[in-house]
Structure 1
Amino acid sequence: HLRIVYERLMARLRVDGRMAWVGQEMAALADPDTYRVNPERAWERLKLRTGNKRQLAMIQAIAAWREREAQRINIPRQRLVKDEQIPEIAALAPETADALAKARGITSGFAQGKSGQSLLAVIAAAKALPEGDLPRADKPRDTPRASPALVALLKVLLNAVAEQNNVAPRLVASSEDIETLALGEAEGNAALEGWRGEMFGRDALRLIRGEIALSAQGKRVKIVEVAGRGEA
Structure 2
Amino acid sequence: MTDPVESRRYIDTVAALVAACDTWASAQFLAIDTEFIRTDTFYPIAGLLQVGAGGELYLIDPLSITDWSAFTALLRRRDLPKVIHSCSEDLEVFQVLFQCIPQPLLDTQIGAGLAGMGAGLSYQRLVMECLGIHVEKGETRSDWLRRPLSESQCVYAALDVLYLQRIYPILCQRLEEKGALSWWREDCDLVTAQAEKPFNPDEYYLRIKSLWKLSSRQQYALQMLCAWRETEARARNIPRGRVLKDAACFEIARLAPIESSQLGRIKEVSPGTIRRYGELILALVADARAADDSVFPPPAVKPLTPGQTQLYKQMKAVAEDIADELGVAPEILAKKRDLEELIRTGTFPDTLTMWRKSLIEKKLLAILENRK
TM bracket (short chain): 0.5 to 0.7
Q: What's 1:89 paired with? A: 252
Within-5 A mapping of 1:57-206: 57-72=220-235, 81=244, 83-90=246-253, 91-93=255-257, 95-96=259-260, 100=263, 102-108=265-271, 111=273, 117-118=276-277, 120-127=279-286, 131=290, 133-136=291-294, 145=305, 146-188=307-349, 190-191=351-352, 193-206=353-366
- C-alpha separation between the residues in 2 aligned to 1:139 and 1:15? 46
Residue from 181, 184, 187 that aligns with 1:22: 184
Paired amino acid for 1:60: Q
AA in 2 matched with 1:24: E
Asked whether the equivalents of residues 151 and 179 of structure 1 are also in contact (C-alpha less than 8 Å), the reply is: yes
**The 10-residue stretch of structure 1 (55-64 or 162-171) with the greater mean CA deviation from structure 2:** 55-64
Q: Is the 8 A contact 1:85 1:105 kept in 2?
A: yes
Cα gap change, 1:117 to 1:176, in 2 (>3 Å): same
Asked whether the 8 Å contact 2:342–2:349 carries over to 1, the reply is: no
Q: Equivalents in 1 of 2:166, 2:350: separation in Å?
A: 35
* Alpha-carbon offset, residue 157 of structure 1: 0.6
1:6 aligns with 2:165: no
**3-state DSSP of counterpart to 2:231:** helix
Which consecutive unaligned segments of at least 5 residues does structure 2 have?
Answer: 1-162
C-alpha deviation, 1:107, in angstroms: 4.4
Give, in whole Å, the separation in 1 of the partners of 2:179 and 2:241: 38
Shift of the alpha carbon at 1:33? 5.8
In the superposition, the TM-score normalised over structure 1's length comes to 0.66
Identity over aligned pairs, percent: 22
Give the distance between the partners of 1:204 and 1:185, measured in 2 at CA: 10
Report deviation, 1:197: 0.7
Q: Deviations over 1:72-128 (max 9, x none)?
A: 4557757865555423112152754x765543334455x26xxx8347514324415
Match of 2:369 in 1: 209
Equivalenced residue count is 202
CA RMSD of aligned residues (A): 3.8
Worse-matched range after superposition: 143-152 or 75-84: 75-84
Q: Is the 8 A contact 1:158 1:169 kept in 2?
A: yes
Matched-pair contact (CA < 8 Å) for 2:338–2:349: no
Output the TM-score relative to the length of structure 2.
0.44
Return closer, same or farther for 1:92/1:25 CA change in 2, 3 Å cut-off: same
User: 1:163, 1:183 → 2: CA distance?
Assistant: 26
Tell me which moved more, 151-160 or 20-29: 20-29
Residues 39 and 164 from structure 1, CA distance in 2 versus in 1: closer, same or farther, beyond 3 angstroms? same
CA shift digits 1:186-214 (9 cap, x unpaired): 152644x322112223321133324xxxx
The answer (yes or no) to whether the contact 1:159–1:169 under 8 Å persists in 2 is yes
Counterpart-to-counterpart distance in 2, 1:105 and 1:142: 26
Given that 2:346 and 2:368 are in contact with CA atoms closer than 8 Å, whether structure 1 keeps it comes out as no
- 1:141-173 per-residue CA deviation (whole Å, 9 max, x = no partner) reads 976524333222111111100000011111122
Q: When you count helix as a share of all residues, which structure comes out higher?
A: 1
CA contact (8 A) 1:62 1:123 kept: no
Specify the code of the residue in structure 2 equivalent to 1:88: E
Q: 1:37 — aligned with what?
A: 199
Q: What's 1:213 paired with?
A: none
